[in-house]
Amino acid sequence: MTRTPLSGVACSIARATDLFGDAWTALIMRDVLLGLRRFDELAQDLGLSRKVLAARLARLVEEGVLTRERYQGSPPREEYVATEKGRELYPVLLALMAWGDKWYAGPAGPPAQIRHDACGHLATPVVACDACRKPLTVADTTQLPGPGGQVGPGTQLLGPLIAARGERVPERVTVPDAVRSALS
């Protein structure tokens, strides 16, 4: 099955999902960030085909999320190491883990816990405002237009809706009457 590329959609969630839209990619990153870096370790831990693993790893290297580093000269062997771009995925994975723990852990509880090494406490990851440190929720945030916002595939209705929330609607964005009346 061929997937429709999302890299051209003017939405950061869509663009990130274009790379991380399948479970294996997120699980590969989980494993690499937690210390499993060699191809055979990843294949054994995840139990997926070597062909699928090789394809996902190649894409992660191509996107600059992972690099290949040689750890043995003869025979040549390499391992996968997260770049800065890859390491910055850790909070995303923690947020996904926290959501999964809340809604899918089951009666036995979560399969893993996170200890914050700086204070020694078990932590529940939260997405918080960088200014006031309060958690961000859908009920207390508003999406506003950004400089790269545009209407197109994947944002036909959402783009104008977000643009209409700004102080002014950019000229390049036409807000459909249905969206405009919904905002009134």
Proportion of the chain above pLDDT 90, given as a percent: 61
pLDDT category of residue 23 using cuts at 50, 70 and 90: confident
What is residue 160's predicted lDDT score, i.e. its pLDDT? 82
Query: Which of 20-34, 78-92, 136-150 has maximum average pLDDT?
Result: 78-92
pLDDT: which is higher, 9 or 81: 81
Q: Measured between alpha carbons, how far is 157 from 164 in angstroms, rounded to an integer?
A: 11
Are the C-beta atoms of 27 and 41 separated by less than 8 Å? no
What number of other Cβ atoms are within 10 A of residue 117's Cβ? 8
What is residue 159's predicted lDDT score, i.e. its pLDDT? 80
Any idea which residue has 């939260």 for tokens? Answer: 126
pLDDT per residue as tens digits for the range 117-144: 999 999 999 999 999 999 998 899 988 8
Are the C-beta atoms of 145 and 165 separated by less than 8 Å? yes
pLDDT category of residue 2 using cuts at 50, 70 and 90: low
What is residue 58's predicted lDDT score, i.e. its pLDDT? 97
What number of other Cβ atoms are within 10 A of residue 41's Cβ? 15
Can you tell me the mean pLDDT for 60-81? Answer: 95
Q: What is the largest CA-CA distance in the chain?
A: 69
Q: Is 89 exposed, middle or buried (0-12, 13-18, 19+ CB in 10 A)?
A: buried
Q: Measured between alpha carbons, how far is 128 from 135 in angstroms, rounded to an integer?
A: 4
Q: Measured between alpha carbons, how far is 166 from 182 in angstroms, rounded to an integer?
A: 15
- Per the prediction, the chain carries an average pLDDT of 86
What is residue 170's predicted lDDT score, i.e. its pLDDT? 45
Can you tell me the mean pLDDT for 17-23? Answer: 82
Amino acid identity of residue 48, one-letter, is L
Proportion of the chain above pLDDT 70, given as a percent: 89
What is residue 53's predicted lDDT score, i.e. its pLDDT? 97
Determine if the pTM surpasses 0.75: yes
